[in-house]
Amino acid sequence: MIDSFFQLLKGFFLQRMAAGRKLSPQSVSSYRDVFSLMLRWLCDERGTDASEVGMGELTAENIEEFLLFLAERRNNSAQTVDCRLAAIKAFCS
């Protein structure tokens, strides 16, 4: 199950982001940063070991808390938070 999350994430970047949508390297990097931040947040704030992260961690509650973390503790603008949410939605679709 855990492997499938990272397999999906890898496929998302290699197939959908880089090749399928023909996004710029900067856009792909921005999307990568979202998942890097979220994985770090899950480890630090939720106590989830990185090796145990799975699709089950992408709950509405966790995503909402992560977005609040970005806005309140990292002082991200509303536009940046919206972009982060868009990246998560793109992955989940």
**Predicted pLDDT at 20:** 59
Number of domains in the chain: 1
Name the token pair of 1: 């199950």
| Burial bucket for residue 17 (CB in 10 Å: 0-12, 13-18, 19+) | buried
pLDDT value at residue 21 = 64
In terms of Cα–Cα distance, which of 6, 8, 27 is closest to 18? 27
- Listed in sequence order, the residues at least 6 apart from 27 whose beta carbon sits closer than 8 Å to its beta carbon are 17
pLDDT of res. 1: 46
CATH of the domain at 63: 1.10.150
Low-confidence ranges of the chain (pLDDT < 70): 1-3, 18-22
Tell me, what's the pLDDT at 4?
Answer: 79
In terms of residue numbers, what domain contains 20?
2-92
